[in-house]
Structure 1
Amino acid sequence: MIERTRTEHERMTSASGLNGKVDLQLRQARQARQGATALALAGVLFVAYPALRPFSDEVTLQGASAFGSMAWIVSHVTAVAAFILLAVGFLSLYVLLQGTSVEGPAWRSVLLSLAGIGLTLPFYGAEVFGLYAIGQEAIRQQRVELMELASVIRFGPGFLMIVVGLLLLGASTVFMAVAVLRTRLMYRWTSILLAAGFLLYVPQYMGSQPLRIAHGLLIAVGCIGIAMGMWRHTQSRP
């Protein structure tokens, strides 16, 4: 009687453990799909940013009109959202790869991306709202000399922050590419495109609008390709 009770208890414990494992796998798969969606959306927004951003000479009242436009705010807020969604995507990718042989580089990618994005976003905040205020005031006063303040904002202490932040983010995408290339994720080669895109992020600032849109497309292909691989990978799990 005692032996039968013990056997039934062990069977129930085993079934409970199995159900718990299945529940965990289902939750991880759901989180991975959500992260894949965020990563794909980030890619789209990295293209939308330069496409929506007004480009001008930035030294005349025409430049002031660009700074002071609603398109200036919308485009830069789009970029901020892209960086945030990128962090969500990287974190979800780490969760998907947790417990595998590439967990180490995936985790380092998350840490570097959070540090890099944290240093990058304050510059975008100054760029969107600071330059918007300058543009509005220059137009109101019809004083083109106010446009000189744009360089003060861009190349002040915040410039070093964004350079370091983007370098850290570039390193993050390299670790991410190393991790993804060692997995069986579909379209894993697109991780190379994403890493290349972020390693070129600082130089692309000096390009024209078409060049910057092309750069955004490079990042978008990388983000969407990895997202598709994450989504397909979850289909093979419960």
Structure 2
Amino acid sequence: MRTALFLFVGVMFAAYPMVRPYSDEVGIAGANAFASPSWVLAHTFAMLGFIALGLTVLYAGRRSDLAVVTTWIGVGLVLPYYGAETFALHALGVDAAANSNPGLIDLADPIRYSLVQSVMFGLGLVLIAVGLVAFALRNRYAAVLAAGFVLFLPQFYTPPAVRIAHGLLILVGAILAAGAVSRRSDADQPMSTITGA
């Protein structure tokens, strides 16, 4: 189960920046990006990835662990922002494109960057990073994955190519973690199970 969860996390966070449409997010170009089905699909990948990440850390620790607590609080703070990003901006884009009213896109900034949502989102990503670092300190196989989530907030301020590379970093970290967990599970199996006796 943990192996599959790690791989799912990696695939979701690699697909997110690859599928997401990029534009300057103003005017008609922004409307078309937000209105695209790819916008909803990409951000849904991210939301599913965060949920799976929380489950992965939970399965590997106790509910009172720093890694578990901070990761789950972080995921809880991040998901409402992603919901608005996914569905509210998509609705704006669809309406703006359908009615040739690109001025509607000016509402994107209040949806994204008002104080409460900005603090929730930033704090959530910081807590996820803390949780993954705590997880990696106990499980060294997750070091690359943890690095990906430490860099999650800064990568938003980089060009699309860097954001895609960041998604691939998380995928590589997830594959490494999945491989380590799979090898550990195989080593823990009784000999009779391994040989089929």
Judge same fold: TM > 0.5, yes or no.
yes
Task: Work out the number of aligned pairs and report it.
Answer: 188
In the alignment, is residue 71 of structure 1 matched against residue 29 of structure 2?
A: no
TM-score, with normalisation over the residues of structure 1? 0.76
TM-score, with normalisation over the residues of structure 2? 0.91
Residues 1-238 of structure 1 mapped to structure 2, 5 A cutoff: 34-94=1-61, 107-156=65-114, 157-181=116-140, 188=141, 191-238=142-189
Distance in structure 2 (CA, Å) of the matches to 1:114 and 1:59: 34
Three-state SS of the structure 2 residue aligned to 1:205 is: helix
Cα deviation for residue 41 of structure 1 reads: 1.2
Distance in structure 1 (CA, Å) of the matches to 2:121 and 2:171: 21
Residue 152 of structure 2 aligns with an amino acid whose one-letter code is: Y
Distance in structure 1 (CA, Å) of the matches to 2:166 and 2:150: 11
| Structure 1 residues 56-82: Cα deviation after superposition (integer angstroms, max 9, x where no partner) | 111121210110111111111011111
Distance in structure 2 (CA, Å) of the matches to 1:194 and 1:237: 24
Computing the radius of gyration from Cα coordinates, the structure with the larger value is 1
Distance in structure 1 (CA, Å) of the matches to 2:148 and 2:94: 33
Unaligned residue ranges in structure 1 (runs of 5+): 1-33, 96-102, 182-187
Three-state SS of the structure 2 residue aligned to 1:214 is: helix
Residue 178 of structure 2 aligns with an amino acid whose one-letter code is: A
Three-state SS of the structure 2 residue aligned to 1:66 is: helix
Alignment check: 8 A CA contact 1:35 1:91 kept: no
Distance in structure 2 (CA, Å) of the matches to 1:170 and 1:86: 11
Cα deviation for residue 220 of structure 1 reads: 1.4
| Structure 1 residues 143-194: Cα deviation after superposition (integer angstroms, max 9, x where no partner) | 121111000101022111010000000000110111013xxxxxx2xx2222
Three-state SS of the structure 2 residue aligned to 1:111 is: helix
After the TM superposition, which parts of structure 1 deviate over 4 Å for at least 4 consecutive aligned residues? none
CA RMSD of aligned residues (A): 1.5
Distance in structure 1 (CA, Å) of the matches to 2:103 and 2:11: 36
Q: Which residue of 2 aligns with 1:29?
A: none
Q: Which residue of 2 aligns with 1:8?
A: none
